[in-house]
Amino acid sequence: MANTQPMQFDADYFDGISPRAQRVLVSITDDAFTFNATTDISGNASPTRHIFFIKDCHIQAKLGTGRRIIDLSDGSRLETDYQNLEHHLPKNSSHHLWRAIHYAESHLLIVIFALIGLVLSSLLLLKYGVPVAAKFAALATPPSIEKDLGKQTLEALDHQKLGYFTASELSDERRSAIQEALKDLCLKTRDCPSYQLTFRKSTTIGANAFALPGGYLIMTDELVTLAKDNNEIIAVLAHELGHVKGRHALRQTLQGTISGIIVIAITGDVSSIAAGLPALMLNMSYSRDLELDADHYALKSLKTACIPTQSFATLLLKLEKSHGGSTSAPEMISSHPNTRQRIMPFLSKLHQCEQPSI
C-alpha cells in the first residue's frame, strides 16, 4: 500500500512572545497541525516539534484574498497565503458556512441581490415594523415620564433663544371662554384624556394647534384670531385631544428615535441623525393612520357634544390657506392625508347629535 503523504503548507509562525515571524512548514494530519519551530528568543536553540489539535484551534474566516490566520491553542498564531485550508480539515458544519459566505461575497451578482434585499427589508422595517414597535413602547411608558418629556419640550420651545413662542396676548376672558368650552365638550363626551391647554403667541409658526407628550395642548393666538367662533376652536382642539388620547406625540417621538437607531446600525453614520426635540415636535410628520385616528376621535366628540362638525372642516381650510395652501405647513396639515378628503366626513349631512345615554 502506498504511503499517504500529509498535506503541507508554508506559514509564518508567531509564538506570542517575539514579534519576529518564523517560517515553518505545517503538516495537516487527521486531527492536528504539526511543525518544527524554536521557542528560544535568540533563535539559537534547535527547533522542536509542535503539535496543536485542530479542534482546539480557531481558523479565522476567509477575508477576500488576504492571508489565512490560524489562532493556536497556546496563544500563538500561524499566517499563511494558502487559501483552501478547509478542504484538508476534519468535516465541520461551520467550515461549510464560511465557505458559502466567502463564495457569496466573491460574486458581484450575489452581492447586488443581497444589497437590494437589505434595502427592501430595511424600508419594510422602517415603514411597518417601527410604528408597531413605537406603539407598544409608548403603551409601556409610564405617564409620568411622558409628562416630563412634554414639559421639557414646552420649556425648550418657550426659550427665548429658539424664538418659537412669546406670551399670549389674549385677554383673560377670551382664554377662560375657550377653556370652559373645552371643558363642556369633555363633560358631554365623557371621553377626554387628561390635558393641559396652554396659549402662546408665535409669529414663527403662525396659526396652529398641536399636542406635546403628556397631554400638553398648545394653541396660538393666531389660530384664535383665524377662527370665526368657539365652535371652530373647539373642533380643532378635539382633534388634538385625539392625539393626546392615542399618545401619538410620544409614539411619533419614539418612532423617530427607533428609526434613527436603525439608520445608524445600517449606515454607521451617527452625524446623519438630526438632533433637537423642539424642532422634531414642531416639524414631525404625523402618519396618515395617526392623523385619521385623531380625526375620527374629533368627529365622534363633536357629534356627541352637538357641535357642528362643519366647524372643523371650515377652520382646516382656513389653516391650509393661511399657510399658503402648502402641504408642508406645520402640524395641522404637514404630511397629512389630503385635506379635501379629510373634511368630507365632517361635511356630511347625516351627522346628528349623539348624546350618550346616562
For the chain, domain boundaries:
7-90, 142-347
User: What proportion of the chain, given as a percentage, has pLDDT over 70?
Assistant: 79
pLDDT at 42: 59
DSSP string, 66-112: SPEEEE-TTS-EEEES---GGGGSPP-HHHHHHHHHHHHHT-HHHHH
Segment 232-256 shows an average pLDDT of 92
Chain centre distance of CA 336: 20
Phi, psi of 22 (to 5 degrees): -115, 130
pLDDT value at residue 6: 78
What's the rounded mean pLDDT across residues 4-11?
Answer: 83
Q: Which residues, at least 6 apart from 178, have a Cβ–Cβ distance to it below 8 Å?
A: 197, 219, 224, 230, 233, 234, 237
By the 8 A CB rule, do 307 and 235 touch?
A: yes
Per-residue confidence (pLDDT) for residue 341, from 0 to 100: 86
Does residue 226 carry a pLDDT above 50?
A: yes
pLDDT in tens, 303-352: 999 999 999 999 999 988 887 765 444 444 345 667 888 899 998 866 56
Q: Does pLDDT of 273 surpass 60?
A: no
pLDDT of residue 168: 95
Q: State in words which class domain 7-90 has.
A: mainly beta
**pLDDT(93) > 70:** no
| Confidence grade of residue 276 (pLDDT, cut at 50, 70, 90) | very low
Quick one: which of 272, 300, 97 has its CA closest to 188? 300
Could you give the CA distance from residue 206 to residue 124 in angstroms, rounded to a whole number?
Answer: 36
| Residue 1 pLDDT greater than 70, yes or no | no
> For 279-292, what is the mean pLDDT?
59
Pairwise pLDDT comparison (277 vs 107), residue with the higher score: 107
Residue 43 has pLDDT above 60, yes or no: no
Average pLDDT for 19-27:
91
